[in-house]
């Protein structure tokens, strides 16, 4: 009864879907949650990272992470709040890592005396926290990649595990950029289907 006073009808529907998903491994419940929040999560992430391809990747990561940890969800707040927090934190980690990688080694400032002050730029070796984040991401995606058709598996590994850009993947595979983008889009859609179905392996 307390939940009805505290939360909206939509939030209560989400709680019911979560119960069905976690207690009965109801694939339809996972699918409804994904369909309900996929667009708003994607648009929020897109505003943060300002890149369509990265936003699509981060959206699927957010749902994979949320569904993997759905059994830990507590009804102290809405599912959407919890999901958006996961998506936001994941995106912030991504942005921080990107900024470190794109800082120029030649960047310098001059102090009040006109002397050049060099900047210590962090190297590309990940710190322990970043290593943990990357390992977690790989673990999440690894659960799906082996279930993809063979032609998509290498693409996904290059994009998610080696974190190559679309241009780098096209060069690596000696394939047109448009083909790489189209096939990765299809691979992502297949992974969404696996996330929705959960396949009993998360």
Extents of the domains making up the chain: 2-101+128-197
17-26, 122-131, 138-147, 191-200: segment of lowest average pLDDT = 122-131
What does the pLDDT look like over 7-44, one tens digit per residue? 899 999 999 999 999 998 888 999 999 999 999 999 99
> What is the pLDDT confidence band of residue 121, given thresholds at 50, 70 and 90?
very low
- pTM tops 0.75, yes or no: no
Please give the average per-residue pLDDT across 99-128, as a whole number.
48
What does the pLDDT look like over 57-93, one tens digit per residue? 999 999 998 998 999 999 888 999 999 999 999 999 8
SS3 of the chain: CHHHHHCCHHHHHHHHHHHHHHHHCCHHHHHHHHHHHHHHHHHHHHHHHCCHHHHHHHHHHHHHHHHHCHHHCCCCCCHHHHHHHHHHHHHHHHHHHHHHHHCCCCCEEECCCCCEEECCCCCCCCCHHHHHHHHHHHHHHHHHHCCCCHHHHHHHHHHHHCCCCHHHHHHHHCCCHHHHHHHHHHHHHHHHHHHHHCCCCC
Please give the average per-residue pLDDT across 142-159, as a whole number.
86
Please give the average per-residue pLDDT across 134-157, as a whole number.
80
CATH number belonging to the domain at 2-101+128-197, selected among 3.40.50.300, 2.170.120.12, 1.10.1740.10, 1.10.8.60: 1.10.1740.10
């Amino acid at each position: 009864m307390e939940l009805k006073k505290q939360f909206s009808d939509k939030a209560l529907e989400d709680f019911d879907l979560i119960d069905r998903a976690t207690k009965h491994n109801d694939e339809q419940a996972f699918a409804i949650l994904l369909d309900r929040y996929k667009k708003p999560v994607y648009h929020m992430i897109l505003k943060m990272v300002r890149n369509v391809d990265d936003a699509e990747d981060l959206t699927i990561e957010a749902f994979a992470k949320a569904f993997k940890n759905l059994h830990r969800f507590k009804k102290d707040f809405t599912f959407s709040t919890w999901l958006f927090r996961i998506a936001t934190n994941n995106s912030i980690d991504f942005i921080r890592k990107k900024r470190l990688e794109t800082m120029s080694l030649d960047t310098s400032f001059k102090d009040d005396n006109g002397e050049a002050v060099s900047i210590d730029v962090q190297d590309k070796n990940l710190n322990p926290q970043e290593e943990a984040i990357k390992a977690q991401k790989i673990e999440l995606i690894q659960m799906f990649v082996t279930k993809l058709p063979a032609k998509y598996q290498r693409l996904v590994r290059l994009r998610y595990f080696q974190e190559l850009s679309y241009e780098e993947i096209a060069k690596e595979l000696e394939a047109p950029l448009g083909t790489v983008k189209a096939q990765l889009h299809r691979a992502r859609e297949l992974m969404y289907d696996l996330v929705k179905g959960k396949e009993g392996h998360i």
